[in-house]
Structure 1
Amino acid sequence: MGQRVPRQARSRAKYNAILQAALELFGERGYTETTIDAIVERSGVSVGVFYSYFASKQQLLLALFRQEMEADDDGLFVLPQRLLTLSETEAYIWKILYQRSGLLRARQELLLLDPEFAQHERAYQQRRHERLTWDLEQLRQAGYIREDIRCSTCAWMLLAIVSRLTDMLDEKSEQEMAVEVQAAALMIYHLLHPDI
């Protein structure tokens, strides 16, 4: 059975509640430890409703990935078209971390469990890299960031930083994370911004 995306508002609300519950639970417990029963309970729908939209937990995760890719197209990971201050850079990193933490944690687990998924992941990361490279190039052409950086390499570095910070969410306290995010923001700020 393929995934069915509802069109009616009430059905769409249930579908979105399932996605949100899964995203939260994946962040709290991880993909493996999150059960369909837990997703159903958190979302407030019945098991039958869950299976009317998703054939499995993996199909639900893939739906979350599709939603994330659409969000990227709407500007979730896209850099604003202006020079960011240091505090805005830090706030932007926090935004990405908290909006992505559950999904990134589930993605990491699934990569270990499902070799086929790695192919999907490579394509997804390549798409994110291309989008971020394009954004950086636009900022460079507008004079908002350094002229002497290679946008493609810089995009990979930024994606790697976000990935590592996401890993740290499970490893470090809130205070330790604040220090790491401040350090990352400072490094990114000085990497991208023209010397004054």
Structure 2
Amino acid sequence: MSDREDQLAGEFPFVPKQERAQQKRNALLESGRELFISKGYEQTTAKEIAAKAGVATGTFYRYFLDKRQLLLSLLEDKIEKLLPPEPSWVNGNPEARLVEMLESYGHRLNQHGLHRVLPELLLKDPELAEVIATAKKRIHQRIFTELQAAKEKGLTWSDLDLNTLAWSIMILAENAAVKVEQSGEPAEYHEIAKVICRLVFPPDVLKNLKSDNENEIE
């Protein structure tokens, strides 16, 4: 059977119901994930994925049309987990909550690993790029809605363009974990959270939010 690496498959493949078949499919998914991360998407073949999973190449094509369809299966229901968190500004200490969210986001990225593969694909795969863009728009809208709620309560700077601010928060949050990974330096999530919160809140408002939260804890 030919190695159909360039064929595009836009739909997620059928998931088998039999336990043994599910085990083989899961082994292929994990094999593909590990190889995509270690070798890169372009350098990985279906034959290598099958060999690492301990199955024949023909078995690979029983479950997936090509390696791209396997990648889509890995990303299914997980795309938003690879994208930046959505802060809440109106309850508790926003800085402390944001640190927790950034730490959780960094942990998810390291655990999943596929964010390392996406940059090489997005320029070559318009369909996948559109999926990612749509997911980012959903997250942006949720951040924007949270900022609106904070502004209505008089918590934010009055002259801020919330649409631009929401995108700025996404960029800062998204690149925080990437910077840690690329530099090998300890995480600076507290500093990133501090910068984001200063973009959103005037100093006196942020101080009051922190104080109110400390009083509630006591």
Say whether 1:5 aligns with 2:26: no
AA at the equivalent of 1:82: N
Structure 2 length normalisation: TM-score?
A: 0.62
Residue 43 (structure 1) shift: 5.6
Change (3 A) 1:7 1:112: same
Q: Which runs of 5+ in 1 are unaligned?
A: none
Verify the 8 A CA contact 2:14 2:63 in the aligned structure 1.
yes
Match of 2:168 among 157, 179, 194: 157
1:107-150 alpha-carbon deviations (Å, 9 max, x no partner): 21102333454333333322332233234445x27859636454
Task: Confirm whether residue 31 of structure 1 aligns to residue 44 of structure 2.
Answer: no
Q: Which moved more, 1:37-46 or 1:105-114?
A: 37-46
SS of 1:178's partner is: coil
Contact kept? 1:104, 1:166, Cα under 8 Å: no
1:68 to 78, 92, 96: 78
Asked if the contact 2:31–2:53 (Cα under 8 Å) also holds between the matched residues in 1, the reply is: yes
Point out the structure with max Rg over C-alpha. 2
In structure 2, relative to structure 1, the CA distance for the partners of 1:97 and 1:70 (3 Å cut) is closer
Deviates more, 1:141-150 or 1:158-167: 141-150
Query: How many equivalent residue pairs?
Result: 189
Offset, 1:58: 1.2
Distance 1:36 1:151, change over 3 A: farther
Structure 1 residues 113, 79: closer, same or farther in 2, change over 3 A?
same
TM-score w.r.t. length of structure 1: 0.68
Answering whether residue 120 of structure 2 is matched by residue 109 of structure 1, we say yes
Query: In the aligned structure 2, how far is the partner of 1:144 from the partner of 1:18?
Result: 52
* Preserved CA contact (<8 Å) 2:32 2:49: yes
- Structure 2: stretches of 5+ with no match in the other structure: 1-8, 209-218
Does structure 1 retain, via aligned residues, the 8 Å contact 2:85–2:101? no
**Aligned residue for 1:58?**
68
Q: Pick closer, same or farther for the CA change 1:44–1:97 going to 2, 3 Å.
A: farther
- Find the counterpart in structure 1 of residue 198 from structure 2: 190
Quick one: which of 98, 114, 118 aligns to 1:89? Answer: 98
**Correspondent of 2:142 among 131, 144, 147:** 131
Assess, with a 3 A threshold, how the Cα gap between structure 1 residues 116 and 69 changes in structure 2: closer, same or farther. closer
RMSD, matched Cα: 3.8
